[in-house]
Amino acid sequence: MTRAIRKIKKTLKAKPTLEGAGVRLKRVFGHPENPQFDPFLLMDDFHSDNPEDYLAGFPMHPHRGIETITYMVHGTVAHRDSMGNEGKIHGGDIQWMTAGSGIIHEEMPARSEPELWGFQLWANLPASHKMMPPRYQEIKSIEVPELSYQEGVTIKVISGEIDGIVGPVQDIVTDPAYLDVTVQAHMVSDLPVKTGHTCFVYVIGGEGLFAEDATEKISLETLVLFDEGDAIRVSSGDAPLRFLLISGKPIKEPVAWSGPIVMNTAAEIEAALKDYQNGTFIKR
Ligand code: CO
């Protein structure tokens, strides 16, 4: 089968940002890039070997209208929320939270390993699901299948499906695929992506080429957003390459965005802020 290899639409370098109660992290994309990443709203890369960069954490804050997916590479983040969930996620674990009609939670990185490294991705919810009941799930690293896609290419399937292997993060409304791909040196590989889905990669190790006739090497902490097609082509150089391959179905609705609350209209944002002030934010 001949595949239509996607071309590169644009590349972005993650930018240093201060978030939460004073966490130094890198924003891969966010509000200014909206709506190019529809259905995704934001992605952060928190990576540091200095606890002063992250111990302030993200104390209690609300979310409404979105889903967040946190994927840890190293270190520990403790979590607590208004639904009574409490837990710690460690390297390789995933936390998937549907804020829906409203959740209030805290996410606190802990001093556990020399290095803290993880990613948080925000997936938008369509109008029909913005006020759905909140839900929360933790997935342990051992539950994430690792696929040997071809010789020299291994893929941890976090969500979505490839070669019949289905990731454990399921039922996210925008049907995302979230793959952690490692490509050994001097390899070329075509990876399938659903037609019509927004697709990007984010390099987390080494460097590589990400299109058929690409000449510009894409390196650490750089994102590539792709045009249409049903596959991407990746080529590694002299060293192994590791990247996150993420795709999802665009929602194509108006976005009204205020910090951790993302709705369709300004009136819905106002109602959410009023709910928060009045102590009526949590609906279920
Ligand atoms: Co949060």
Q: How far is the CA of 9 from the centre of ligand 1 (A)?
A: 29
* Mean pLDDT, residues 204-230: 96
3-class DSSP string for 7-67: CEEEEEECEEEEECCCEEEEEEECHHHCCCCCCEEEEEEEEECCHHHCCCCEEEEEEECEE
Whether the CB-CB separation of 172 and 67 falls below 8 Å is answered with yes
> Structural domain tally of the chain?
1
Answer yes or no: is 283 within a domain. Answer: no
Burial 237-247, CB ≥16 within 10 A → b, else e = beebbbbbbbb
pLDDT at 241 over 80: yes
Q: How far is the CA of 182 from the centre of ligand 1 (A)?
A: 28
pTM for the whole structure: 0.96
Q: How far is the CA of 5 from the centre of ligand 1 (A)?
A: 35
CA distance 275 to 167: 36
Answer yes or no: is 95 within a domain. Answer: yes
Answer yes or no: is 2 within a domain. Answer: no
Answer yes or no: is 229 within a domain. Answer: yes
Answer yes or no: is 104 within a domain. Answer: yes
Which residues does 146 contact at the CB level (< 8 Å), separation at least 6? 154, 155, 156, 157
Which residues span the domain enclosing 122?
8-278
State the pLDDT at residue 112: 77
| Percent of the chain scoring above 90 in pLDDT | 93
Check which CATH number belongs to the domain holding 89 and give it: 2.60.120.10
pLDDT, tens digit (0-9, with 9 covering 90-100), for 98-141:
999 999 999 999 987 889 999 999 999 999 999 999 999 999 99
